[in-house]
Each structure stands twice: as C-alpha cells, then as structure tokens.
Structure 1
Amino acid sequence: MRNENAHDELPVMTWDRFWELVGTLGGPAVLERCDHLEEACEGLAQRLALGPVEEITGFGERLAEALYRLDRAEFGRLPVQDAEAPHDWQTDDHFLYTRAAVVTAGREVYEGVFGHPERFAPYTALQAEELLYVHEEAYEAVTGEEWDFLTRYDYESCSNAEGWPDLRS
C-alpha cells in the first residue's frame, strides 16, 4: 500500500546536485541512441545506489518536480517533429517521455525551453522513459524493496494546473 503522506518525509536534494547527477548521462548526445541511454541510466542508478537512501529519494523528488514544471500546454500541444503526418500530436505518455528527454539533455537545455516552445519542439521526436525509473531501481537495489512513495509533484501529463489553465474546472 502506498504511503499517502510519503512526500512529507522525502528529502529534497539541491538542484545543483540533481543536475550534476543528470549530467553524468551524457547530455543531448545520449538521446540519439537508445542503447546508450539505457546504459547511461543504468550507470546513474548504480551511482545513486552507492550513496545514502536519502540521495535516491531526493533525486526522485527533484525529477518529479522538473517533469512537473515542464508539464505545460505550450509544450504538450506541440506536434511530434519528424512524424510522418504533421498532425501527429503527443499522447500523454509521449509527452511525459519527451519531458524526460528534455531533463536528460541537461540543465542548460531544460532551463532554455521555458518561454521558448520552439526549443522544446525538437525533443518531441525523442523519448527518455528510462530516466523515470533510475531512482526506483537504485532504491530497490539498496533496500530490497520497491519504490512506494508519492512525490510532492505529480508529473503525469496535464497534472500541472498552472501549465494547463484551460483545463481548470
């Protein structure tokens, strides 16, 4: 059973430390080949597993927050670049994995897309689902238990009410 108040207990790492860890993935270049991304994410999970559990849960918190901040209509309504038909829009899962790709690309790319959907657009052709499981794999490796925490931020697509003002009730 999920701990509904777990987010109150999770430590939060600094943004600098989060981006330092994300930087070990290899930046935008790692997104070009799926096999490299898988290996890079496995390496990051192993690196996290060497540290204290608080760093693992802190990473999970920062990742959720970073993805939540990217959950905006200006990005989610972009068509998929390089799609066969120009009307191929991002599904909820596609948009989540695209946001993960922006995070995987690193701090400079991440910070540079806000207010500039045209900078986000090329990432619609990329996916980085593997990043979503890095902290979960590290947590399981260290504790022998599955990740069972709710983060402070819900990163599922369309969960950021400020980013999707027209979806508000």
Structure 2
Amino acid sequence: MEAKIGINQDNLAKVAHSLSNILADEYVLYTKTRRAHWNVEGPDFYNKHKFFEEQYNDLETIVDEVAERIRKLGHYAPASLKQILELTHLTEDDRGKNDAVSYIKALLADHESILIHLRENIDNYSGPLRDAGTSDYITGLLEKHETMAWMLRAHLS
C-alpha cells in the first residue's frame, strides 16, 4: 500500500533508494565487525573479542532501524546478499592479518567512509526531498558512527 505521509512518491522512492545504499553499507560493516569478533587473535584477544561484540551488536540494531525506516516510507528493504553487495560502496576486501590493530584500522576506515557519505547527503533529505524525519534519523545515525569511530580510534593511540 502506498504511504501517504506528506512526501510525494518520487521523493519517497529517492529517499528509500538512498537508505537502501546506507543499509547495504551498514550490513557490510556489521559483517566485517562480526569477522573481527570471530577471528581476532593476539595477547589482547579477550578484550578485543568483547569489544568487537559490542560494536557488532550496535551495528545490528542500526541495520534493523535503517530497514524499518525504508518500510515506514512504503518501500521494501534490500534483503539479499546480492542486493547488498550491489548497493554498498564498501568493499569486502580483507587484506589484513587477524590481529586487533589490523581489524580496528579496517573497521575505522569503513566507519569514516560512512560518516563522510552521510554528511555529504544529509541536507538532501530535509531540502529537495522534503523528508525532515529521515534527515533527523540520519543525524542520529551520524552521531552513532562518530562514537563508534572514536572508540576504534582510541585503541590505536
């Protein structure tokens, strides 16, 4: 059923597509964080294993929230790995070792990439697309990624 929420259907489709890209990025980052949790090795194994678990739990919540935001706008969230890989701007490439520093650097780079992408697009939601709700949601999402990036960065000092 068509969502009649004060935003024209063309704009809703554009917002949903943009959110689908964000969802794909979040899902890839979630998966990479799970990989770090499962495979990290080294003398600080236990602490980093628990740290990555906290991060992937936060990302799991974000993935669900972004998908639900898409549904609130009357569109379907991408839900196959093929769709996710077609929509993400992140890479699955894994060139690092299984030590905490390698994982932290890779995950931090992805969080920072997502932050840049969110900042570059945030004004489009409240401006031309006339969706203040999504703009507000993206602001909150941006703040979550800033915190997660800060936590990762703190491990590299």
- The verdict on a shared fold, with TM-score over 0.5 as the criterion, is no
Query: Which has the higher relative contact order, 1 or 2, with Cα contacts under 8 A spaced 6 or more apart?
Result: 1
TM-score tier by shorter-chain length is 0.3 to 0.5
Output the TM-score relative to the length of structure 1. Answer: 0.30
Higher helix share: 2
Higher Rg: 2
